[in-house]
Amino acid sequence: MKKNSIAILIAILVNLVIFSSAFAQGEELTLILTKDFGSDGFNGDIQGTFTVKASGPANLERVQFFLDDTLLNEDAEPPFTIQFLTDNYATGAHIFSAVGFTTDGMQIGSKTINAVFVSKEEASATSLKIIVPILVVVFGAMAISKITTSVDVHKGKKLSAGATRSYPFGGGICPKCDRPFGFQLLSLHMFGRKLSSCPHCGKWSVVKEATMGELRAAEQAELDTGKTLIQHVSE
Shortest gap between Cβ of 204 and Zn ion (angstroms)? 10
Instruction: Judge whether 155 and 144 are in contact, CB under 8 Å.
Output: no
Q: Which is nearer to Zn ion, 55 or 148 (CB)?
A: 148
Instruction: Judge whether 44 and 23 are in contact, CB under 8 Å.
Output: no
* 177: contact with Zn ion by CB under 5 A: yes
Q: Which of residues 193-232 bind Zn ion (CB under 5 A)?
A: 198, 200-201
Q: Which is nearer to Zn ion, 129 or 203 (CB)?
A: 203
Q: Which is nearer to Zn ion, 64 or 197 (CB)?
A: 197
Instruction: Judge whether 83 and 51 are in contact, CB under 8 Å.
Output: yes
Near Zn ion by CB under 5 A: residue from 174, 210, 215, 218: 174
Shortest gap between Cβ of 189 and Zn ion (angstroms)? 19
What's the CA gap between 122 and 87, in Å, rounded? 12
Q: Please count the helices (runs of H) and the strands (runs of E) in the chain.
A: 3, 13
Stretch that binds Zn ion, among 22-30, 65-73, 176-184, 219-227 (CB under 5 A): 176-184
Q: Please give the backbone phi and psi of residue 166, each rounded to the nearest 5 degrees, phi first.
A: -100, 155
* 159: contact with Zn ion by CB under 5 A: no
**E runs forming strands in 104-216:** 107-108, 113-117, 171-173, 180-182, 188-190, 193-197, 204-210
Q: Which is nearer to Zn ion, 176 or 193 (CB)?
A: 176
Q: Which of residues 105-134 bind Zn ion (CB under 5 A)?
A: none
* 176: contact with Zn ion by CB under 5 A: yes
What's the CA gap between 196 and 149, in Å, rounded? 10
Q: Which is nearer to Zn ion, 35 or 203 (CB)?
A: 203
In the complex, which residues of this chain contact Zn ion (CB under 5 A)?
Answer: 174, 176-177, 198, 200-201
